[in-house]
Amino acid sequence: MNLSLFHLVREPKIKSDKNPLLLLLHGYGSNEEDLFSFASELPDNYYVISARAPHPMPPYGNAWYSIHFDSDANKFSDDDEAIESRDRIAKFIDELIETYPIDPTKVTLVGFSQGAILSYAVALSNPEKIQRVVALSGYINPAILADGYTDKALSKLHFFISHGTVDQVIPVEWARKAPEFLKALGLDVVYNEYPVGHGVAPQNFYDFKNWLQQTL
């Protein structure tokens, strides 16, 4: 079966009939190999699958949606493309469950930057498909959430959110709104900050790995 997004797969070292999934979603201008570089460090019982975003950015990167600049150098996101990618990721999860022995009740999204923004959108718009979200260096864009998402069964979603306090790409103030937004929906949230820029500090990685183990 040809799946709709190009992806890399690390199979579980300990296989069962149905395995939990970590779906990695990279940031703007990157590719599927970026987050996959730490796949070997992730727990042995998971399928770890890293997807390539659908919009090529020459010479070598990809994006989930375009970012445009106006004449005053303000940047803004292409929300229509983001919604399209949100729905593509949801469809891709269905394809993965059909193709690999994945437990549909144990799907975790791990997104960095633009991938984190999409992870929030996919989980809140399709809570029946997602168990947990690890949102690294991102923020919630309410404009790309599905209509009527607050009426959906959100209560089983769990979030681990982290951000660098000196992030020069996405201000930490944007990230700090996410836990408040999610707690207002009654959701379970862990929020951590680290003294780094737009990246994942080693301590951040260990903290989210421990959280994965505690919440599975």
Per-residue pLDDT band for 1 (boundaries 50, 70, 90) equals: low
Model pLDDT, residue 14: 84
User: What are 17-61's pLDDT values in tens digits?
Assistant: 999 999 999 999 999 999 999 999 999 999 999 999 999 998 889
- Residue in 188, 160, 185 with CA at minimum distance from that of residue 175: 160
Question: What local confidence, expressed as pLDDT, does residue 204 receive?
Answer: 95
Q: For residue 2, is it within any domain?
A: no
Residue 162 C-alpha from the chain's centroid: 12
Tokens found for residue 87: 């729905």
Mean pLDDT over 135-163 rounds to 96
Question: pLDDT tens digits for 79-103?
Answer: 999 999 999 999 999 999 999 999 9
In which band, very low, low, confident or very high, does the pLDDT at 73 lie, cut at 50, 70 and 90?
Answer: low
Average pLDDT of the chain, as a whole number:
94
| Domain-embedded: residue 1 | no
d(CA 130, CA 153): 11
Count: domains in the chain? 1
Question: Domain range spanning residue 42?
Answer: 7-215
Answer whether residue 210 is part of any domain.
Answer: yes
Residue 109 lies in a domain: yes
Residue 68's pLDDT band (boundaries 50, 70, 90)?
confident
Specify the CATH number for the domain of residue 95.
3.40.50.1820
CA angle 163, 210, 190 (to 5 degrees): 45
Q: If you average pLDDT over residues 175-197, what whole number do you get?
A: 97
What's residue 70's pLDDT? 66
pLDDT tens per residue, range 8-24: 999 999 889 999 999 99
